[in-house]
Amino acid sequence: LSRYHTDFHEIEQIGSGNFSRVFKVLKRIDGSLYAVKHGTKQLHQDTERRKALMEVQCLAALGSHENIVGYYSSWFENEHLYIQMELCDYSLSINKSTQLFMEEEVLQALYQIAKALRFIHEKGIVHLDVKPDNIYVKNGIYKLGDFGCATLLDRSLPIEEGDARYMPHEILNEKYDHLDKVDIFSLGVTVYELIKGSPLPESGTQCLNLKGGKLPLLPGHSLQFQNLLKGMMDPDPVRRPSAKDLVENSIFDKVLRNSRT
């Protein structure tokens, strides 16, 4: 008997990843909509299972936060992992929405995701796959999702880094001393893409320039904003601001005067 089919009515597929498909479902007993992610890979081996379980173990350890996609439960079915989570409206996939972000809107997204990162880093968890695809929006609130690469700061497992385009050079060089700062770098690249409205080239010079800390100027943006972004993509992880530094930056004062918490 399938727990999935017993408990949920499948409405439609809403997304897919490398090793997963995500469905919009109705939970029969409470009449509410959720997203359920099915792993498509069969997890025979113990190491595979342990890696897959990191995602739900991190989500469960974190507890709920307004700026993190909500987690409800998880289970195994025929060697596949199922994850029941909060259904969001859409994600900030760059290819889909060529919608450009103005500075005020991007500051909202940056502030909210920085709060999510401050929360997870305080609990000793790093995301390692921050990118537009993995930032969701629900009722106008930005939420960090897809903890498929997340791990503990003092982990025993080797890391499984996310999308290489968002990784700083120290990860490419296998230096793992400041994994929290990997998330800060990735968020910097994410914000940069949201402003440009187009993905950075996979391994183009623009991306290499970013990784070398030589951020091309962004016309029409304040110097304070450009310096903040540049700091987030500093080649030296130690010099990048922490998530807490970000949240406390005075750049957010003007746009968030009423919503700062």
The catalytic position among 7, 46, 129, 163 is: 129
Q: Site map for ligand ATP, 33-52, x if CB under 6 A?
A: --x-x---------------
Helix (H) or strand (E) holding 141: strand 141-144
**Interactions with ligand ATP, residue window 103-142 (CB under 6 A):** 133-134, 136
Per rule CB under 6 A, is residue 171 in the interface with ligand ATP? no
| DSSP 8-state assignment for residue 252 | G
| DSSP 8-state assignment for residue 131 | S
Tokens of 243: 């998530």
Per rule CB under 5 A, is residue 161 in the interface with Mg ion? no
Per rule CB under 6 A, is residue 199 in the interface with ligand ATP? no
Candidate residues 70, 148, 168, 231; the one interacting with Mg ion per rule CB under 5 A: 148
> Which residues are CB-contacts of 15 (< 8 A; sequence separation ≥ 6)?
21, 22, 91
Question: Is 253 annotated as catalytic?
Answer: no
Return the number of the residue (87 or 117) whose C-beta is nearest ligand ATP.
87
For the chain, helix (H) and strand (E) counts, in that order, are 9, 10
- Are 20 and 13 in contact by the 8 Å Cβ rule? The answer is no
Binding-residue total with ligand ATP (CB under 6 A): 22
CA dist 255 and 107 (Å) reads 8
Looking at beta carbons, which residue is closest to Mg ion? Answer: 148
Q: Which residues bind ligand ATP (CB under 6 A)?
A: 14-20, 22, 35, 37, 69, 85-88, 91, 133-134, 136, 145-146, 148
